[in-house]
Each structure stands twice: as C-alpha cells, then as structure tokens.
Structure 1
Amino acid sequence: MKQPLQPTWDLDSIFAGGSGSAPFASFLQTLQEDLSSLQQQFKEFQLPRNVEETGKLNELLDRIQSAMQRLREASAFTECLTAENQKDRQAVLLTGRVKSINAQLLAAFTRFDEILSKMDEQVWNAWLETAEVKPLAFNLNERREQARDKLPPEQEALAGDLAVDGYHGWGEFYNTLVSRIRIPSTEDGKTVHWSAGQASNKMHDPDPEVRSRIFKQWEQTWGEQADLFADTLNYMAGFRLKLYEHRGWDSVLKESLEINRMSEQTLQVMWDVIVRSKPVFVQYLQRKAKLLGKDKLSWEDVEAPVGSLHKKVSYDEAAQSIVEQFRKFSPKMADFSVRAFEERWIEAEDRPGKRPGGFCTSLPVSRQTRIFLTFAGTPSNVSTLAHELGHGYHQLVMDDLPALSQEYAMNVAETASTLAEAIMMDSTLKQAESDEERIVLLDEKIQNSIAFYMNIHARFLFETRFYELRKQGLVGADRLCELMAEAQKEAYCDALSEYHPHFWASKLHFYITDVPFYNFPYTFGYLFSAGIYAEALRRGAGFEEQYIDLLRDTGRMTVEQLAQKHLGVDLTKPDFWQSAVDLTVNDVREFLQITE
C-alpha cells in the first residue's frame, strides 16, 4: 500500500465543487424530472391481465430502481458534505432538497406497491417466474405484503410529503443543534472549546482526571440545551406514533422489525439470552474498577483503557495494520481496503467543525463508498475504522445486484462491520507478548460486549418506554433524563457509580428518521457476526466465498432464512444466541483469570 496516506476524503471525484457543485445540481434536476415523468407513467398505467402484458410493468420496475440508486448517490453525497463541515449551510439546504426528492420517490413507490397489491394472483405468480423478475421475487413479495398493511396510496403519499418538513425536518434540526455544541475544557492553561466529536474522543483519555472533567462538562453542556433536544425528540416520536395509529399498528416495534426482516420472537430470545448472561460481565466491570483504583466505575470509565501499553497510533500505521489482518481472513476484503485508503474514500482528519461519530455511506452509481470518522490515534478509532471498512466491503460484493436486492437491513449491515472488528482484535491478541499486553487487549475486546449487551440494551429499554409514555403526551426533559438513568441502571445491573442522564440528547441514533429503533440491530449484528466468525475459523480458507454468498443474500432474505441457509441454525431458539454469547464470555473469564 502506498504511503503516506491522506486522511481526508475526495468528494470531487463524485461531484466536483462541494456544496456548490454544478454537476450535482444537474444530477438532482435530472432525477427530479425523471421522477415527475415516472409519476405520470403511473397515472396512465393499466394493470396487466396476463403475463404477456407485463412489459410496461418491467419498464416501471427498471425506472424506479434506477431512481433508487441515484437518490442513494445524492443522499450519500450530501451526508458527506454536512458531516465534514457542520457550518456548510448550503449543504444543509441540499439535504433538504434531497429529502424532498426522496418524498417523490416514496410517492412513486406507493403507486408501484399499489399495483403490486392489486395484481391478479395468477398473473402475479407467472410474472415472478419470468427471467427478468425472478431474482427480485423476495423483494417484490415483501413490498406487496407490506403495501396491504398500510394506508391507501393517496394518504401514504401525503404522509411522505408532510414528513419532509415535519418528521425529517426535526431530524435535520437536531443536526443543526449539535453543530453548535461546544464542550469547554482547559488544556495547558488555556480554555478551548471542543466540538462534540473531539470531546467524545477525549473521554477515552487514559488520565481519569481528564475523563472526569470532560464528562462533567459534556453532561452539563447537553443539559443546557435539553429543552430543545426534548422538543425535537418528542415531535419526531409524535409524528411516527400518529402515522402508526392511522395505519392501525399497535406495536412501536412493528416498523423496525419489518425493516430489519426479523421476528419479534427472534428479538426477544436474543435479549433473554443476553440478560441471563450478564452476571459475568458485571464481574468484569467490578474487576476493571479495582484495576483503575475505584470502588465502582463511573460512566466515563467504562471505555477507559486499562494500562498504558498503547501509544498513539498514526493513521498510516492503523491502515497498514488493518490491511494486514484483513488479508489473513479475506484477501478480497484487504484489497478493497487498500483501494479505499489509496483512492481517499476516507475522511479521518481530527479538526473542528466535523460532526461526531463515524459512518460508511454507499454511492451505488459511482460504485464507491465513503467512510467518515475523527481519527485521534486511539485504539477505539482503529476499531471504528475497521468497522466502517467492513460496511464498505459488504456493499462492494453487492454492487452488481439489482437495486431492490441491495436494500439490506441495518441488523445484517452490522454483521460485516463487527466481523471486521473481531478479525482485528483476535489477530492482535494472538501477537500479545505478555500478560500485561493481553489484559489491555482483552479489555478493549470486552468493551464491545459491554457496549452491545448493556449500552445498546439501555437505549432499547429507554426508547421502548419513551414511546409508550409519548402516546399519552409530551415527555419533558427531566422525565427523559429519569427514563435514561433508569434504563442504564437496569442494563448495567446497577454496576456503575454514575450514569449519563442526558445520553438521550447527545446520541444521534435517537434522531435518525430513516430507521426507527436504531439500537437493537447493532447487538444482533454483533452476535450474528460472532457466529459467522466461529464458522469461518472452523471451515478455514475456503470460507471466503461462502461469506461473500451470505453477504449477497442479506438483501433478499429474512434473517431467519439467512441463518438457516448459510449457518444451519434457528434464530428463534436460544441455542445459537447462547453459543455466540459464550464466545464473548470466554474473553471475560480469561480477563478475570489473568487479573486475579
């Protein structure tokens, strides 16, 4: 791999000119015109009476998939612009325009789905058997069934239009609020004001005084804006609940479970297994507290490093290490990562003005991805980088599939990313030269389990309870803090001395409007990837192609079907989940043994 690497991404190769890009403006204009034309074609469409008359339906299918791909390209580009510079108001305006175009696409899909739902059963079955359509049979059947469970097309289209300046507008308002957040701190005798992303990195500092000081300022700063964040969260949830009510949906989880193509039984079994397995992870938290010289860990201590083996890692060193470890598991994933680093698909520079967090977004027309994070040289940053590269590789192996078959859900999207993290961590553990180094590495690895079993569980408990309360009316900021602290105490088995009541305000995931309940799919992906990784180790070198086949099926099967076909397991039973959790329990037992 060519080095030195540039830690900033190249967006000009997608659309030159940033938020003022003329090619992008033209791209959006053409897309809008095509969607208007598509709407007209829907108005003139006649239901086919036999399979011989489905030619125009095939044309509609091709056009709507083309629009899907182009909208994903546009959405990814604007997401990159707003993430790299939260003061770019033109990018925010472009995001609003893309959401308006998305409403057009949703309206087109509503008409398309209406056609699917009204087709004669015999014609429908014959159409699905045609060569052009058969690869999309799962996705089309899925859309047909979901269309029959929603409002009439005109009302769904109206809801989509109103969501642009309502529901999605509140989501964008949250981003505006976060862009103004500044966390004050004293560094070398001078007062500095960190962005949310920079302050988040500081809370992983080895120095407990630094962590404590930053966390207190962090909690206070979000608290100062709590009323604004509470309004935002309440009105987003209110829109969603009212739409569910009109559709006749009782469960707030219905939409999220459908999006993730999983049953409520699978979700409940997964959480049951985790809850039963938590005691050993509480032992880990207690032992870590002793190692850090505390009676109990505080919130900011949970992800604190144990020991001081890890010096700051440069971006180039992180890239080299990731590529080397990936190559041992999958040469194709390593080759993809080299391309991402060398062709500047990654924005990693540590500078003010960037939004917090990390993400990977796909550009299906360009057949590229872009990865975003703020890299400060911490082990956590290296894990995030590997995680996002896993997402990018997942998209790569699906690039040649029809657009509808590329729409994989968040829970399986997290499979490739968390698997990539596991590869990195296990390879590093094998190279540990002392017990001291192994303790540090095991601690980092177990932190993932704590995040997915406890942190994510707290988010799930909070959001589930908040939505039930919101059905009765607005929920104030103080009550939201109470709900959050209660959920954290339950999820962490009351193992911490201090919690993060304003977590509901600081966590972007509660404000993402595209996917409700942006929490439990992470835990699913973590455990599902653990099962896949165990299978990879069992099967050896020949597993790479089988892994690719599994990833390619993630957009055209339920998770239960996916697990049965590629792993031979039943996700509605506790066996698979217990075996996956047990893999992570083994890490804790080793950690407890070495630190006795």
Structure 2
Amino acid sequence: MAHRIQPLFDANPSAGTGDLGDLPEWDLSDLYTAEDAPELLRDLDWLESACASFAEDYEGKLADLDADGMLECTLRNERIDMVAGRIMSFAGLRYYQNTMDAERAKFMSDLQDRLTRYTTPLVFFTLELNRLPDDHLDALFAENSDLARYKPVFDRIRAMKPYQLSDEMEKFLHDMGVVGDAWERLFDETIAGLKFDVDGEEKGIEETLNLLSEQDRSKREAGARALGETFTKNVKTFARVHNTQAKEKEVMDRWRGMPTPQTGRHLANHVEPEVVEALRNAVVDAYPRLSHRYYKLKAKWLGLETMEVWDRNAPLPMETERKIAWPEAEKIVMDAYGDFDPRMAELAEPFFSKGWIDAGVKQGKAPGAFAHPTVTDAHPYVLLNYLGKPRDVMTLAHELGHGVHQRLAAGQGEMLSSTPLTLAETASVFGEMLTFQKMLSGAKDDNERKVMLAGKVEDMINTVVRQIAFYDFECKLHEARRGGELTPDDINALWMSVQAESLGPVFDYMPGYETFWAYIPHFVHTPFYVYAYAFGDGLVNALYAAYQEQPEGFQDKYFDMLKAGGSKHHKELLAPFGLDASDPKFWDKGLSMIEGFIDQLEAME
C-alpha cells in the first residue's frame, strides 16, 4: 500500500512565553540528507522496480506458494513497506516543519503521487491473500515458524475480508487516495495560515490557544473571542472539508458493506466494538462524578458563579506563572523515566542529544505535538510546540513515551511493530503519569500539591471526558451526514450538544464557541481516533494501580508489553497484569483514579 504520513497530533497542546534555553530542531539526515540526495533518488528507483517485479512474480500465484515461498513473498512486501515509509516520513516531516512552504508541500505531494503509482500493482496482494482458505494458511504457518510470526499481520489483513471489493475497484480506490489527502492538506494549510486578532495584535493559532491558559482572565477572554471570530470567518471552508471527508467515508463504507462508520477504525485498532462501547458508556455515565464535579470546584476556586469556556483551562489563582526552561524540562522527564527503570531513560536520551525533537514554535509549523515512528531501521521523531508551561513538560513526557514505545517495538520489524491505536497511547500516558508523580513528590507545600493535582485532573478530563465527547460528536456528525449535506450551523449544533453534556451546568458558552470543532485535526486525519486517548488513559490508570499494588517484576512485564508492538491482541498484552479491557468494571477502575484525585482536592478545601 502507499504510505501516507499520518501524524497523530496529540490533544490539548499548550504553550507559554519566555527565555526557554536552546530549543532543539530535527536533524532529518538519518532519513535523507536532502530532497535531492542520491540515496533518495536511488530508493525511488529501487521502489519502482521492486513493486513491478513483486507483482510480476506473485500476482495470481499466492495460492501456489509453499511456506518458504510465502515467507519470501512476505519479506519482500515488508522491504517495500520500509523503503516507501522512509521516503514519505522524510517528505512528511519536512512539510510539518513548515506547512506554509510551497516547495515542501509540492515535494510531499509529488512523492505521494509517485508512490501511489508505484504501489498500485501491489493491491492484488491483500485481495488474493483474503481469497485463500483459512486451513490453507494455517497449514503454511504450521510448516514454517518464521512465517507463523507474521500471523497477526495476516489476521489483521483478513479482518477486512468481508468488506473487500473487486480487484479492479480496489486498485481504483488506491489511486484515488491522493484526492482524500488533498482535503487533509487543505485543512492543515488553512489552520497553519490562520491569523487571530487579539487586542489589535496578530497571532498564530498556537499563541492564541496558549492564551486560554493565561492567569489574566481578560487575556483568556481575548484569546477565546479571537479564536471564535476567526473560526467563524473560516467556518465554510472547515464545513466543506468535513462534509467531503465524511461523504467520502460514507461512500467507501457503503460499497464495502461496513455496518457503521466506526467499523473501519475498530478493525484497524484490533478492538471489539463492544469494548469501545463499554468504555464510552462508562465515561459518559461518569461525567457528573468527574467533569461536572471538578469544574464546580474550580468555579469556586476562581470565585465565579458560572464559568465561561475561557476559564476551563485557566490556572488556579494560587498558581505561579513559572516558566520551565528546556534543560529543566529535560531533567524532570529524564529523572522520572530513570527512576522507574534506567533502561527507559537510556531509550529516551538520544531524542535530546541527536536531533530527534523539534521543540520551538515557528511560523507555519504544524500545531500540537506528535511522535512519528518513521521506519524500524531508523528512529522516531518528536514534534512539540514548547513554550515552557508545566503542561508542556507533561506533553514532552507524553511524546517521549510514544518514542520509547516505538523504539522498543521496532524489534518486531516493519509489519509487526505498528501498535493499534488503542494501545498506542499506553507508554505515552504512562510516561506522563511517572513524570506527574515525580513532580508531585517534589511539591514544596499543600498549595503547590493542590495546583499539581488540579492540573493532573484537568489533563485526565481533557484526555478522557473531552475525547469521548469528541467521539460522540464524530458519531453524530457521520450519522447526520448520511442524511445529506450539513451546513456550518448543523455541525455547530452537533458540537454544542456534546459540549454541554460533557462539561456540565457550571459553564456558559460565548458566541463563536460553537465553531471550535473546526481546528481539531483528528476529525480530518484519522476519524474516530479520539477514543484511543480515553482507552489509553483508562488502561494506564489500571496499569499504574497494578504497579503500585505490586511493583515487584512490573518493569520487565511492562517492557515486554511495549516490545510486542502490534504482534499481540490487547487481551494477551494485559493478561500478565491480571487486567481485561473487555470487562466493563475495568473502565470503572481507571475512572476511579480520577475520582480519587478529585476526592483529595475536595478534602483540601
């Protein structure tokens, strides 16, 4: 298949200002030294001929292969995957450093076109594979243990078997993929180019979002109103993108016979719909015990009867506006990782010393934060927009967790390293929890402890409550789009219906807030991704409780889980810890950790 870089932008990026020290930038030379590097041109030539010869050698012949032949075929396919992944990672990362640079955008688009053209002849592979009888494949696996190692990959491919179209139609859809990409690029470039008028000063999206967590309430209000004003001016463009993407998905799903818009995501995540439903229901049922209760408490701290949306991420009145310079942020996270296990700090260290992090806020740079694994014979790259707030330190801990996970899983090889989204957030959220506990243990007094606990509760609400509300919004959006074109007002109304339910009665909503769905990249890049955050948070809360109850031997089991990458199902991965995500009580255990923190905050009143 053609590689389309899908950076998984993490939720709730934050920022600040001040002298933060020497912020690192990416060194992409571990992929390629330049856009015209001889190695890149060589790999493109190799890829074109490798795809052609693969199709020539195997099309129409998979059923005749013995176990050794099927293994060789699989290894050749994996090698093609790796070279294509390296090329698109390089093009994509360059683009995300400056999405306003026309040359970078063209370079990425041109390469995507070429790779789509080269890899179209490979579409037969999954289609033919899915026509093989189960017992035929089982016999091949029994014959060759090296081939049997790839069974999870074959299982995931074959999960799509009921939804497969004709060979000709699948090739057509493969070629048309670049059109969907164009809508994603339109979204990215529109977002990166937006300007926000804050009290007569023009700001970009990162700086403006940052104002929502300023101590000064008037600055928060100015930021929120500027966001609402600019999103409202551009809402037709964002509505067009969402309408088109949702319609394209509806057409694809209808042709494939997928029963729900979410089915494709659940299959890709290797998770059962009922597990996601149990998670969703547990969180929605907990809204009154979590977000409604916490925000009522926060309104009291802020001395407000009702809160406006610009108060949601406000610092507490007793919070100091401390900026954390980059060297200190690095030390905090590295110490937290090292205290848990020196191996973890060792895996994280090269990110700081070898140009694997791009940290500063720059004009045109993609907003938010992500860790992109690239390919297993290279290493991951982390993108941040670091501006020195405590939450930025948590974002660093989060993305480094992804990076450590990706490095450990790389040992599985290209096809088995990729972790389903439901488990992809495990190491990142665990890394955050380690960093939080480290910072909490160093709190100087009750005041500082209270501020840190409140910050953690807010992050957890943002990760669990907000993301499940986002998931419900997407479910409603895709369902409504099946009935016809949605106006901006239609989409706004869907957004507000989940906001009021999830945030609770203490909030008022300013005019313009109804458009805040417009800037969230997950809805465009990876529909229904957002539940993975809540899944990851709930899972990590349960894991961390297991660590506290029985620390003996936990680290080795934890490392084994990360090393497994995508080679095992979540049931197998959680079994050594005595956990089972299909048990509805499992989610209550995770949510009770958030409740426990709110209990502590109430007790401090």
Same fold (TM over 0.5): yes
1:382 aligned counterpart, secondary structure: helix
Quote the residue 2:172 is aligned against.
158
**1:503 correspondence with 2:531:** no
Rounded Cα–Cα distance in structure 2 between residues aligned with 1:508 and 1:9 = 22
Quote the residue 2:31 is aligned against.
14
Q: 1:402 to 1:590 in 2, by over 3 A?
A: same
Rounded Cα–Cα distance in structure 1 between residues aligned with 2:351 and 2:577 = 30
**1:124 correspondence with 2:122:** no
Quote the residue 1:135 is aligned against.
149
Rounded Cα–Cα distance in structure 2 between residues aligned with 1:365 and 1:399 = 5
Superposed displacement of residue 76, structure 1: 2.3
**1:575 correspondence with 2:588:** no
Q: 1:477 to 1:344 in 2, by over 3 A?
A: same
Superposed displacement of residue 220, structure 1: 0.8
Rounded Cα–Cα distance in structure 2 between residues aligned with 1:4 and 1:198 = 18
Rounded Cα–Cα distance in structure 2 between residues aligned with 1:437 and 1:142 = 47
Rounded Cα–Cα distance in structure 1 between residues aligned with 2:465 and 2:570 = 23
Quote the residue 2:501 is aligned against.
490
**1:273 correspondence with 2:277:** no
For residues 478-515 of structure 1, what are the alpha-carbon distances to aligned partners after superposition, in whole Å with 9 as ceiling and x for unaligned?
A: 11111111111112234321263112211111110xx3
Q: 1:57 to 1:353 in 2, by over 3 A?
A: same
For residue 81 of structure 1, the aligned residue among 81, 94, 98 is 94
Superposed displacement of residue 588, structure 1: 0.6
CA contact (8 A) 1:484 1:504 kept: yes
Name the aligned partner's letter for residue 133 of structure 1.
L
For residue 48 of structure 1, the aligned residue among 56, 59, 64 is 64
Rounded Cα–Cα distance in structure 1 between residues aligned with 2:560 and 2:85 = 23
Q: 1:63 to 1:266 in 2, by over 3 A?
A: same
Name the aligned partner's letter for residue 276 of structure 2.
L
Superposed displacement of residue 554, structure 1: 4.1
Quote the residue 1:33 is aligned against.
49
Q: 1:237 to 1:55 in 2, by over 3 A?
A: same
Quote the residue 2:215 is aligned against.
206
For residue 149 of structure 1, the aligned residue among 137, 155, 163 is 163
Task: Answer with 291-300 or 323-332: which moved more.
Answer: 291-300
For residues 22-65 of structure 1, what are the alpha-carbon distances to aligned partners after superposition, in whole Å with 9 as ceiling and x for unaligned?
A: 5434433432332233233333635227xxx3433222211111
Task: Answer with 95-104 or 206-215: which moved more.
Answer: 95-104
How many aligned residue pairs are there? 581
Name the aligned partner's letter for residue 230 of structure 1.
A
Percent identity, aligned pairs only? Answer: 22
| Alignment TM-score, normalising by the size of structure 2 | 0.91
For residues 424-454 of structure 1, what are the alpha-carbon distances to aligned partners after superposition, in whole Å with 9 as ceiling and x for unaligned?
A: 1111112212111011101110012211232
For residues 439-479 of structure 1, what are the alpha-carbon distances to aligned partners after superposition, in whole Å with 9 as ceiling and x for unaligned?
A: 11011100122112321122111110111111111101111
For residue 263 of structure 2, the aligned residue among 235, 254, 268 is 254
**1:534 correspondence with 2:545:** yes
Q: Which runs of 5 or more structure 2 residues have no equivalent in the other structure?
A: 1-19
Quote the residue 2:483 is aligned against.
472
Rounded Cα–Cα distance in structure 1 between residues aligned with 2:532 and 2:286 = 19
1:313 aligned counterpart, secondary structure: coil
For residues 209-261 of structure 1, what are the alpha-carbon distances to aligned partners after superposition, in whole Å with 9 as ceiling and x for unaligned?
A: 11110110011111111101111111111111101101111211100111111
Q: 1:174 to 1:462 in 2, by over 3 A?
A: same
**1:61 correspondence with 2:74:** yes
CA contact (8 A) 1:48 1:119 kept: no
Rounded Cα–Cα distance in structure 2 between residues aligned with 1:265 and 1:542 = 32
1:118 aligned counterpart, secondary structure: coil
Rounded Cα–Cα distance in structure 1 between residues aligned with 2:277 and 2:376 = 38
Superposed displacement of residue 109, structure 1: 5.4
1:252-401 → structure 2 map (5 Å cutoff): 252-281=261-290, 282-306=292-316, 307-401=318-412
2:553 aligned counterpart, secondary structure: helix
Rounded Cα–Cα distance in structure 2 between residues aligned with 1:387 and 1:224 = 33
For residues 138-182 of structure 1, what are the alpha-carbon distances to aligned partners after superposition, in whole Å with 9 as ceiling and x for unaligned?
A: 2212312423431122211211211212x2221111112112211
Name the aligned partner's letter for residue 64 of structure 1.
N
Higher relative contact order (CA 8 A, sep 6+): 2
Rounded Cα–Cα distance in structure 2 between residues aligned with 1:142 and 1:13 = 30
| Alignment TM-score, normalising by the size of structure 1 | 0.93
Q: 1:493 to 1:123 in 2, by over 3 A?
A: same
Rounded Cα–Cα distance in structure 2 between residues aligned with 1:227 and 1:169 = 17
2:338 aligned counterpart, secondary structure: helix
Name the aligned partner's letter for residue 135 of structure 1.
R
Q: 1:422 to 1:572 in 2, by over 3 A?
A: same
Q: 1:13 to 1:117 in 2, by over 3 A?
A: closer
Superposed displacement of residue 370, structure 1: 0.7
Rounded Cα–Cα distance in structure 2 between residues aligned with 1:358 and 1:240 = 26
For residues 386-416 of structure 1, what are the alpha-carbon distances to aligned partners after superposition, in whole Å with 9 as ceiling and x for unaligned?
A: 1000000001111121322112111211111
Name the aligned partner's letter for residue 236 of structure 1.
Q
**1:180 correspondence with 2:196:** no
Quote the residue 2:469 is aligned against.
458
RMSD: 2.1
1:184 aligned counterpart, secondary structure: strand
Name the aligned partner's letter for residue 153 of structure 2.
N
For residue 524 of structure 1, the aligned residue among 528, 535, 539 is 535
**1:231 correspondence with 2:245:** no
Name the aligned partner's letter for residue 293 of structure 1.
G
Rounded Cα–Cα distance in structure 1 between residues aligned with 2:214 and 2:85 = 37
CA contact (8 A) 2:361 2:387 kept: yes
Rounded Cα–Cα distance in structure 1 between residues aligned with 2:130 and 2:288 = 49
Rounded Cα–Cα distance in structure 2 between residues aligned with 1:325 and 1:308 = 23
Q: Which runs of 5 or more structure 1 residues have no equivalent in the other structure?
A: none
1:399 aligned counterpart, secondary structure: helix
Superposed displacement of residue 4, structure 1: 7.2
1:203 aligned counterpart, secondary structure: helix
Q: 1:252 to 1:102 in 2, by over 3 A?
A: farther
Q: 1:501 to 1:4 in 2, by over 3 A?
A: closer
2:171 aligned counterpart, secondary structure: helix
1:216 aligned counterpart, secondary structure: helix
Rounded Cα–Cα distance in structure 2 between residues aligned with 1:246 and 1:119 = 22
2:514 aligned counterpart, secondary structure: coil
2:462 aligned counterpart, secondary structure: helix
Superposed displacement of residue 317, structure 1: 0.8
1:397 aligned counterpart, secondary structure: helix
Quote the residue 1:547 is aligned against.
558
Q: 1:40 to 1:193 in 2, by over 3 A?
A: farther
Name the aligned partner's letter for residue 35 of structure 1.
C
For residues 345-364 of structure 1, what are the alpha-carbon distances to aligned partners after superposition, in whole Å with 9 as ceiling and x for unaligned?
A: 11111332212110000122
Name the aligned partner's letter for residue 456 of structure 2.
K
CA contact (8 A) 1:106 1:157 kept: no
Q: 1:576 to 1:314 in 2, by over 3 A?
A: same
**1:433 correspondence with 2:433:** no
Q: 1:92 to 1:37 in 2, by over 3 A?
A: farther
Rounded Cα–Cα distance in structure 2 between residues aligned with 1:333 and 1:104 = 41
For residues 549-588 of structure 1, what are the alpha-carbon distances to aligned partners after superposition, in whole Å with 9 as ceiling and x for unaligned?
A: 112334023323432x232233222221111111111001
